[in-house]
Every structure is written in structure tokens, then in C-alpha cells.
Amino acid sequence: MRLKLVAVFSLLMLILASPAPAEKKKKDEDAGKRSVQGIVTDNADRAINGAVVQLKNTKTLQVISFITQKDGAYRFHGLNPDVDYVLKADHDGASSSNKTLSSFDSRTKAVINLKISK
């Protein structure tokens, strides 16, 4: 009986300890990465709710999107520091100009605000 109890306890400890290495691996993967965030506004500098911000990887041409909330904020994280990214926002048929997050930009947390002109 005691042997079964030890075996069950050992198995339980193994299961509980498993997520910790996965979390450490995730933190290690994010090390050396960068992020970009900002606010999408209109000509009157009012935040735009529901604007679609697109982030394009210039090497792979992959595009990911973020839809802004009431405060007009967007954020992309886990970006490769060796890649250039192009940002653009669209809302109600109008667009912002393209902005580039360059691989030469050494900031790990870049801030790029986008203005949509109608």
C-alpha cells in the first residue's frame, strides 16, 4: 500500500512540474524578440475604435491584423528583430500612410502611432 502511495505521489509531482519547463521555454523564445504598439487616430487626433491595423513581414510577406478598441490602441509582440515590418491602418474606407519598423531600429518596444486621413 505504501509503495502505491509513493508511486501516485511521484506521478502527481511529475504532472504538476510539467508546465514549468514549458513556461520557461516560452520566456526563452520571447527573449531577443521585440514588440510594436501605438494609437490609431483621425485628423482631429481622436482615437479610432474598430480600425484594422495590419503588420506585414517584409521577408515572408505574412500579414497579421489587430482591431483597435475604444482607445484606438494596437499591439504586436514576439517580432523578429532581424526583419523589417510595414504597418498600416484602415477604417471606413480610409487608410493611414505606411510606416516601417526597421530591423535597424534597436528598440525592443517600439511605439508607432498611425493617423487615418479621410
CATH of the domain at 62: 2.60.40.1120
How does DSSP classify residue 47? B
Task: List the alpha helices (DSSP H) in 1-55.
Answer: 2-17, 19-30
% of the chain exceeding 70 in pLDDT: 74
Q: Which amino acid is at 86?
A: V
pTM above 0.75, yes or no: no
Give CA–CA dist 81/36, Å, rounded: 11
Higher-confidence residue of 4 and 63: namely: 63
73-85 pLDDT per residue, tens: 999 999 999 999 9
Q: How many domains does the chain have?
A: 2
Residue 19 and residue 74 share a domain:
no
Judge if 26 and 38 occupy the same domain: no
Residue 26 scores a pLDDT above 60: no
Are 38 and 96 within one domain?
yes
* pLDDT score, position 11: 46
Q: Are residues 7 and 59 in the same domain?
A: no
For residue 105, the enclosing domain spans: 33-117
Centre a 10 Å sphere on the Cβ of residue 48 and count the other Cβ atoms it contains: 22
Residue scoring higher pLDDT (24 or 57) = 57
Measured distance CA(59)–CA(82) in Å, rounded: 10
Report the C-alpha gap between 37 and 14 in whole angstroms. 39
